[in-house]
């Protein structure tokens, strides 16, 4: 069954593509609009995006990129959902957009090209992201979300573990507790490679840093 019309933001790669990948953005936009959606597309939201005479682009490409990113993220915040076009995984800007959407709870969907355009593509949720580079995103969402609410701040959680370890005659710091957890995950990864191990390694590295900063 088709979904109700919503505000859709299109996220995808541009740099390095012919014509900035605008044809792909326009094609998906056309399909989305045909289904009744309102579309926010970075291929259209800045009319001078291709205009190399634009001062910021001519004088400071980095400043121009930051300007476009601010405009695009504003539209991400306005959208009901984000559709991620093929190749988004390798795009720095698209990664930032997807990251932002997931952090604020906006659904993100992968445009696969093999779905009814009036239905959502496959849903991207943290535990379903299988592309290189998103382990850190997934680890961030896990360590700063409900898990921290349940376990408390890592500085406090691992300090309790360190205190209990003293009863065994083992003196460790909270961050060392996190490092030992990494060693456990590395051992399991050597025995049988598994994405969950790699996500946890990234998460425990982040938690170790949080424990240090939390002191």
Domain 7-124 grouped into CATH 3.30.479.30 = no
Give 151-160 contacts, CB < 8 A, sequence gap 24+: 153/210, 153/214, 154/178, 154/207, 154/208, 154/210, 154/211, 154/214, 155/210, 155/211, 155/213, 155/214, 155/215, 156/214, 158/207, 158/211, 159/211
Alpha-carbon distance of 117 to 201, in angstroms, equals 38
Query: Cβ(119)–Cβ(3) under 8 Å?
Result: yes
Dump pLDDT digits (tens) for 35-66.
899 999 999 876 555 554 444 455 676 777 78
Tens of pLDDT along 85-109? Answer: 988 888 889 988 988 998 888 988 8
For residue range 167-182, list pLDDT tens digits in order.
999 999 999 999 999 9
Mean pLDDT of 64-78: 89
77-86, 133-142, 154-163: range with lowest mean pLDDT: 133-142
Report domain extents, the chain: 7-124, 137-213
Kindly report the number of other CB atoms within 10 A of residue 62's CB atom. Answer: 8
Q: How confident is the model at residue 141 (pLDDT cuts 50, 70, 90)?
A: confident
Residue from 109, 108, 83, 99 nearest 24 by CA: 83
* Strands, sheet with 81-84, edge to edge from the N-terminal-most edge strand: 38-40, 7-11, 81-84, 108-110, 122-124
End-to-end Cα, the chain, rounded Å: 52
Q: In this structure, are residues 13 and 85 in contact, taking their beta carbons and an 8 Å threshold?
A: yes
| Alpha-carbon span 159 to 95, nearest angstrom | 34
């Amino acid at each position: 069954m088709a979904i109700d019309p919503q505000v859709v933001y299109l996220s995808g790669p541009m740099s390095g593509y012919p014509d900035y990948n605008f044809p792909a953005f326009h094609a998906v936009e056309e399909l989305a609009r045909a289904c009744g959606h309102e579309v926010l597309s970075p291929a259209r939201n800045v009319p001078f995006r291709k205009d190399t005479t634009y001062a910021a682009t001519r004088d400071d490409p980095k400043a121009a990129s930051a300007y476009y990113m601010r405009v695009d993220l504003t539209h991400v915040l306005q959208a009901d959902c984000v559709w991620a076009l093929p190749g988004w995984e390798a795009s720095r800007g698209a990664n930032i957009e997807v990251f932002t959407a997931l952090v604020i709870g906006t659904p993100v969907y992968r445009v696969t090209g093999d779905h009814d355009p009036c239905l959502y593509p496959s849903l991207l949720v943290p535990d379903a992201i299988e592309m290189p580079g998103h382990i850190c995103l997934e680890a961030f969402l896990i360590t700063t979300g409900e898990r921290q609410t349940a376990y408390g701040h890592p500085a406090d959680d691992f300090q309790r573990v360190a205190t209990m370890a003293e009863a065994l005659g083992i003196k460790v710091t909270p961050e060392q507790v996190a490092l030992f957890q990494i060693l456990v995950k590395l051992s399991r990864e050597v025995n049988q490679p598994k994405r969950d191990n790699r996500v946890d390694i990234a998460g425990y590295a982040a938690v170790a840093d949080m424990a240090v900063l939390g002191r």
